[in-house]
Structure 1
Amino acid sequence: MTATETLNKEAEELKEQVISWRRYLHQNPELSFREEKTAQFVYETLVSFGNLAVSRPTEKSVMARLIGSEPGTVLAMRADMDALPIMEENTFDFVSKNPGVMHACGHDGHTAMLLGAAKLLSSKKDQIKGEVRFLFQHAEEVVPGGAEEMVQAGVMDGVDMVIGTHLWSTMEFGTVGICSGPMMAATDTFWLTVIGKGGHAALPHETIDSIAIAALVVTSLQHIVSRNADPLDNLVLSVTQFIGGTTHNVIPDAVEICGTVRSFDKDLRAAVPGLMERVIKGITEAHGASYEFKYEFGNYPVINDPEVTKLIEEVVVETLGQEWVEHMRPIMGGEDFSAFQQKAPGCFFFVPAGNKEKGITYPHHHPRFTVDEDALEVGVKMFVNAARKIVMENKENCER
């Protein structure tokens, strides 16, 4: 039996345990920066495996280090742990016990998969040439998130490469999604208040109509994407909140607008706030209004290192077969895994977890979101076989 076959068999034997962990975590979700019980559960579970140096780099995160018998590559693996402020509508027997809080993005599965990998690899300490560092991150769902906080705490010091994965319900189970280079976008946020002069809706000439002016701003902001950005550059500008007015016959003094900007190119990203303010300033001044504008840069884009991505693709082929490789297009969603990639080359890959035959079709952040639990075994196999290739075989082409 080859090393890959042995690891796959051991991962299959852990499947029910990993599912059990996932269901426990699903029943006990905690919001970003409130992962007290989750982190303690992860900490105690890791300690029980033995051979791991387990620590709490920040108050709500956990790190475990599996230090091998010989020097070599330091490989970090990351899973996120936080849940979302959503009231769950699923009916299975392990629904959330915390009203208004739900694992609606798969982080319960991510944590369970990395726990499975840590348990399996902890028994192979003598085969490790280098180190495997297991990072259990808090607060992925907010900006600024927990990844940057963990980086500041030193979890990436000495790391040669980093990998992570995301269960993805809108892709059908049976492949692993790989994307070299830009994969997920930078996530920036803006807030705008258009300030006019309120008054009676029947006498609009006596007002400075903040509703009408703000509507013009929203429409005109779309010209930044269509007329100020290179069509070959990925850019999304979405207004997601438009708040103003209290009743049918009153023009309000002000309208509040909020939204998000997604991009990959750093120069375009830096230019967007100025382009937006030029539009906002021109329209508001032309109509006698004023404005307040705030722009906040969020997570970096996830840019997968070509060499590390090639290694992960090889792991897919060796572990699951060539037919499991799915070359993905980039998506404009964001992920603060990118903070770890600022410190070491890395690869973020997807494990599809949708299954139409099982009725698992709801998107992420939906009250009825769930995953095909068969995907958990795939995630464990990917983690442990990445470790096999990078820090157990420690082939020359894996050293950086």
Structure 2
Amino acid sequence: MKLLNNLLTSLTQYENEMIQIRRHLHQYPEISFQEKETFKYIMGFYKELDCEPKLIGKGFGIIVDIEGGKSGKTLALRADFDALAIFEDNDLSFKSVNPGVMHACGHDAHTAYLMVLARELVKIKQELPGRVRIVHQPAEEVSPGGAKSMIKAGALDGVDNMIGVHVMTTIKTGVIAYHNKETQTGRSNFTITIKGNGGHASMPQLSNDAIVAASYFVTELQTVISRRIDPFDMGTVTIGSFDGAGSFNAIQDKVVLKGDVRMMKETTRKVIRDQVKQIAKGVGVTFGVEVIVDYDDNYPVLFNSENLTHFVVDSLKDQNISEVNNIVDLGPQNPSEDFSYYGQVVPSTFFYIGAQPEDGGNYPHHSPLFKMNEKSILIAAKAVATVTINYLFFNKKM
């Protein structure tokens, strides 16, 4: 299709601009719900174009509607733009200048590709049927996430389908990956506060040791997955923080635990939640301590629409993008993603762009040493452009 081929050619010409945008965002990262300057930067970009960017939701969400010259369906494209509370440990010319904040997950790349793609779509909007809604989302990393408030404020009003992508350093550059149906885990977090009675280490009979009670809770928690979850169902429970710091000769009166839960079925979520609360209650009775449970059920299981995913894969295979050498089913993925909220409202799909650095090194997401292959930015732009044009012109009911 000539229109699509011209669009892909334009994106190739602007690859360096996408990289420069990514590097600017990488150098000036902001954590979830505090992305004020990033918001200004993105808005400034769109105000120079023939479109009207709008603030939406709580925080700094942005939507931009690109109205086609003909009637048709509406496809939403989403990119997140928050960073993480991590000290960067890379020697880069565009290393983060904000201490303790880093783009360690690739959201800077997502934003860069979508900004330039959106501009190129604005240039040809009169030739397009339907509408493309650009969704720049803040706060993907931290519950309750940015998607929920944007949806509540109307970000998906009138939208038929939605797609999103994520760069992945664990996948070779040039590979696009996907999966159907349940694709990324749902997530819950909890804080358990255990209150006993402190005292002198030489007289434990006069105290009620919160550390002992908390240790028992952690040990019992290991039975939730092994004895309460079907072995064919995926689930994890992790205690990531055990805060009972004190001195060597004092019995602690309070311990605070922080835990993480992942699951691939929403039914599993309930089983784990009920078991955590039941064990906490039992520890309280057994040790005579007060146990306070703060349980946060947040990101749902990310479910990819079967029809839309097939359409995306077929579109990419048919186009044969020069920078893409393979398209594979990656299988279900362990991390959670608040793109899942969109899929609860409209049929959506989320796929992955390989971004492994050329040296083949291991630079994992959420690591101070995170690095990505910037060639993946153009691949992301071309992949989403291909799906978008095919969707607007050729899609059937999803």
Deviations 1:368-387 (A, max 9, x none): 21210000011000111111
- Counterpart of 2:185 in structure 1 is 185
Corresponding residue number in structure 1 for 2:42: 42
Aligned partners of 1:81 and 1:138 also within 8 Å: yes
- Equivalent positions of 1:226-241 (< 5 A) are 226-241=226-241
Q: Which residue of 1 aligns with 2:54?
A: 55
Q: SS of the counterpart of 1:100?
A: coil
Question: Do structure 1's residue 104 and structure 2's residue 104 form an aligned pair?
Answer: yes
Farther-moved stretch of structure 1 (29-38 vs 216-225): 29-38
Other structure's SS at 2:369 match? coil
Distance in 2 (alpha carbons) for counterparts of 1:231 and 1:10: 50
Structure 1 pair 342–41 and aligned structure 2 pair: CA distance change class (3 A): same
Percent identity of the aligned residues? 32
- Partners of 1:154 and 1:179 lie apart in 2 by 28
2:341 counterpart of 1:351: no
Q: Judge conservation of contact 2:357–2:371 (CA < 8 Å) in 1.
A: no
- Map of 2:326 onto structure 1: 324
Residue 20 of structure 1 and its aligned partner are, at CA, apart by: 1.0
CA contact (8 A) 1:302 1:338 kept: yes
User: How many Å apart are 1:8 and its aligned residue?
Assistant: 2.6
Contact 2:358/2:373, CA 8 A, preserved across alignment: no
Alpha-carbon distance in 2 for matches of 1:94, 1:236 = 36
1:240-259 Cα deviation digits (max 9, x unpaired):
11011311111101211111
Report the CA distance between 1:141 and its aligned residue: 1.3
Letter of the structure 2 residue corresponding to residue 354 of structure 1: Q
Once residues 286 and 87 of structure 1 are traced to their aligned partners in structure 2, the CA distance between those partners, rounded to angstroms, is: 42
Partners of 2:103 and 2:245 in 1: how far apart? 35
> Greater CA deviation, 313-322 or 161-170?
313-322
Between the aligned partners of 1:358 and 1:237, the Cα distance in structure 2 is: 31
SS of the residue 2:336 aligns to = coil
- CA offsets 1:77-110 (integer angstroms, 9 cap, x no match): 0001111122212111111122222111111100
Letter in 1 for 2:357: N
Change (3 A) 1:319 1:92: farther
Does the CA contact (< 8 Å) of 1:55 and 1:62 recur in 2?
yes
Question: Are the aligned partners of 1:316 and 1:324 in contact in 2 as well (CA < 8 Å)?
Answer: no
Q: Within 1, Cα distance between the matches of 2:384 and 2:62?
A: 18
- Partners in 2 of 1:355 and 1:267 — Cα distance? 38
Partner of 2:70: 70
Cα distance in 1 for partners of 2:191, 2:282 equals 17
Cα displacement string for residues 198-249 of structure 1 (whole angstroms, at most 9, x for unaligned residues): 2222333333222122111101111111101111111111111101131111
3-state SS of paired residue (1:357): coil
**Residue matched to 1:21:** 21
Equivalent AA in structure 2 for residue 282 of structure 1: G
The TM-score, its normalising length taken from structure 2, stands at: 0.95
For residues 261 and 120 of structure 1, what CA distance do their matches in structure 2 show? 41
Matched, 1:151 2:151: yes
CA distance in 1, matches of 2:248, 2:18: 55
Give the superposition deviation at 1:3.
Answer: 4.7
8 Å Cα contact 1:147/1:337 also seen in 2:
yes
Give yes or no for contact 1:106–1:166 (8 Å, CA) kept in 2: yes
Q: Which residue of 1 aligns with 2:372?
A: 371
Instruction: Give the superposition deviation at 1:194.
Output: 1.9
One-letter code aligned to 1:333: P
In structure 2, the partner of 1:12 is 12
Tell me the SS of whatever aligns to 2:93. Answer: coil
Instruction: Please list the CA deviations of residues 4-58 of structure 1 after superposition, one character each: whole Å capped at 9, or x if unmatched.
Output: 44333222111111111111111111121221221121112123232x2322224
Equivalent position amino acid for 1:335 in 2 = E
- Conserved in 2, the CA contact under 8 Å of 1:187 and 1:260? yes
1:222–1:370 Cα change, 3 Å: same
Cα offset, 1:174, TM superposition: 2.0
Q: Which moved more, 1:94-103 or 1:199-208?
A: 199-208
CA distance in 2, matches of 1:355, 1:184: 24
Q: Distance in 1 between matches of 2:27 and 2:272?
A: 41
1:362 matched to which residue of 2? Answer: 363
The structural deviation recorded for 1:284 is 3.1
Quote the offset at 1:121 in angstroms: 1.3
CA distance in 1, matches of 2:287, 2:338: 40
Query: Contact 1:4 / 1:318 at 8 angstroms: preserved in 2?
Result: no
**1:342 Cα offset (Å):** 1.8
Contact 1:315–1:385 (CA under 8 A) maintained in structure 2: yes
Distance 1:61 1:88 in 2: 25
Q: Find runs of 4+ consecutive structure 1 residues off by over 4 angstroms.
A: 1-4
CA distance 1:30–1:198, shift in 2 (3 Å) = same
Superposed counterparts of 1:171-320, under 5 Å: 171-320=171-320
Shift of residue 328 of structure 1? 1.2
Q: What is the letter of the counterpart of residue 235 of structure 1?
A: G
Single out whichever of 53-62 and 305-314 deviates more from structure 2. Answer: 53-62
State the TM-score, normalized to the length of structure 1: 0.94
Kindly provide the amino acid, as one letter, of the partner of residue 6 in structure 2.
Answer: T
Q: Is 2:384 aligned against 1:383?
A: yes
Moved more, 38-47 or 264-273: 264-273
Question: What CA deviation, in whole Å up to 9, does each residue of 1:135-191 have, x standing for no partner?
Answer: 001111111111111111101001000000111112221211101011111111111
5+ residue gaps, structure 1: none
